Amino acid sequence: MTTRYTIAVLEGDGIGPEIMAAALKVLDACASDTVAFDLRVVPFGGQAYFDTGSVLPAETLDACDAADAILKGPIGLSYEDSQKIPVDAQPERAGLLPLRQRYRTFANFRPVYLPPELVHFSPLKERVVAGGIDIMMIRELVGGLYFGEKEEGIDAQGRRYVKETLEYDDDEIRQVMVVAFDEARKRGKLLHNVHKSNVLKSSVLWNSVCSEVHSEYPDVDLRHIIVDAAATALILNPRQFDVMVMENMFGDILSDLGGGLLGSLGLMPSASVGPEKALYEPSHGSAPDIAGQGIANPYSMIGSVALMLDKSFGMERTAHAIWEAMRQVFAAGYTTPDLGDPEEDLTPISTLAFADRVVEALDGLLAEEKS
Ligand code: NAD
């Protein structure tokens, strides 16, 4: 019998369609007699706005509602092009945030991973990253400043003002803490809680709920770290971290720092998990500066496919084979140009050539597993 999974495919803007094409080649290689993927490709993002008048058309919402999982490329336009869309209709505000909110994808997993043999990709000194980097950042994704009430206007003195609110309640904090402690328990039993309780009251509540949940996980070593100190510590000694949990905006910023540790934002896949559905997407943006050149790194998009197979479809071994196939391609000296270093003996290849090599390695690994 064949199990069929329906996937809503949102290619997005900029490099989105290029890295999605690469990722779909890899997904196709994971289909078999027993597993099939039904893809529904639908418009989403800035281009969708120009084509349909909405960054998130009704057709896209229908496809996402009906799908078992959502695979999404990056959205967003260059600063100049984004000025052609009214502020409230722009891709992130009118597309991405409503999508995350619709499926309440509160737990965003962002692996910051570089195996020992690939540490030369990192801009950090070898002694700092020797042995590799392996951090799971967990970002709360549907609360905080990005979703709080907003107000703007002119005050009594005639000055323009804006007010944005940061809100969390203890249920919202608890649900992401449980995910973080569970993840820490599965991994190295070490959790860093990132906060700013010396300034923000929201962090005082955040830390208090964190400590309450900790009482249910006495086997996990919990350490609290202030967000600014965490930024420094990630650069000076990233290997001290295993699982990190943080609120929405801290996670947005620190996870891009994570991409910097690895050498490219192109190495950052992510999974955003909600109670009934999950959304898989690269952590980076649409990279308008390199769009259309066929040189974007598809690792983050292919990694998002691996996360989807693992977390939504229970295909853990196939997911593991995808990570291993990508590692083999890098280890053989092939990379997209973002990771190329003139001093290293690396061969720059295109987005699709990278995917082809991953598929070749994956075919071998999956065949080995069957035999
Ligand atoms: P960006 O992440 O798109 O790019 C930052 C830098 O990283 C650029 O130099 C880019 O070339 C490089 N880069 C990113 N991904 C890469 C990849 N896969 N391979 C090689 N290089 C890569 O950030 P930005 O330039 O600040 O934003 C561009 C647009 O993306 C904006 O409209 C922004 O709003 C949007 N954005 C969307 C998301 C999302 O869809 N989740 C996330 C972040 C930014």
Distance 166 CA to ligand 1 centre (A): 25
Q: Is 290 in the pocket of ligand 1 (CB under 6 A)?
A: yes
Q: Is 256 in the pocket of ligand 1 (CB under 6 A)?
A: no
Nearest ligand 1 atom to alpha carbon 76: 32
Domains 1-103+276-371 and 114-265 are alike in CATH topology = yes
Q: Which residue of 19, 146, 284 sits with most ligand 1 atoms within 8 Å of its CB, as the best mutation to test the pocket?
A: 284
The 10 Å Cβ neighbour count of residue 69 is 22
DSSP secondary structure string for all residues of 38-83: EEEEE--SHHHHHHHS-SS-HHHHHHHHH-SEEEE------HHHHT
User: Tokens 């997005």 map to which residue?
Assistant: 12
| Distance of alpha carbon 320 from alpha carbon 17, whole angstroms | 24
Question: Which pLDDT score, from 0 to 100, does residue 199 have?
Answer: 97
CATH superfamily of 114-265: Isopropylmalate Dehydrogenase (3.40.718.10)
pLDDT exceeds cutoff 80 at 300: yes
Question: Which pLDDT score, from 0 to 100, does residue 342 have?
Answer: 59
Q: Is 92 in the pocket of ligand 1 (CB under 6 A)?
A: yes
Distance 323 CA to ligand 1 centre (A): 22
Distance 156 CA to ligand 1 centre (A): 39
Domain spans in the chain, listed from the N-terminal domain onward: 1-103+276-371, 114-265
pLDDT band at 369 (very low <50, low <70, confident <90, very high): confident
Is the domain defined by 1-103+276-371 classed in CATH 3.40.718.10?
A: yes
Q: Is 96 in the pocket of ligand 1 (CB under 6 A)?
A: yes
Q: Is 297 in the pocket of ligand 1 (CB under 6 A)?
A: yes
Q: Output phi, psi for 101, to 5 deg.
A: -70, -40
Q: Is 270 in the pocket of ligand 1 (CB under 6 A)?
A: no
Query: pLDDT for 303-341, tens place per residue?
Result: 999 999 999 999 999 999 999 999 999 999 999 999 876
Distance 205 CA to ligand 1 centre (A): 32
Active site residues: 146, 196, 228, 252, 256
Q: Is 274 in the pocket of ligand 1 (CB under 6 A)?
A: no
Query: pLDDT for 130-176, tens place per residue?
Result: 999 999 999 999 999 999 999 999 999 999 999 999 999 999 999 99
Question: Which pLDDT score, from 0 to 100, does residue 343 have?
Answer: 66
Query: pLDDT for 255-272, tens place per residue?
Result: 999 999 999 889 999 999
- Burial bucket for residue 93 (CB in 10 Å: 0-12, 13-18, 19+): middle
Nearest ligand 1 atom to alpha carbon 297: 19
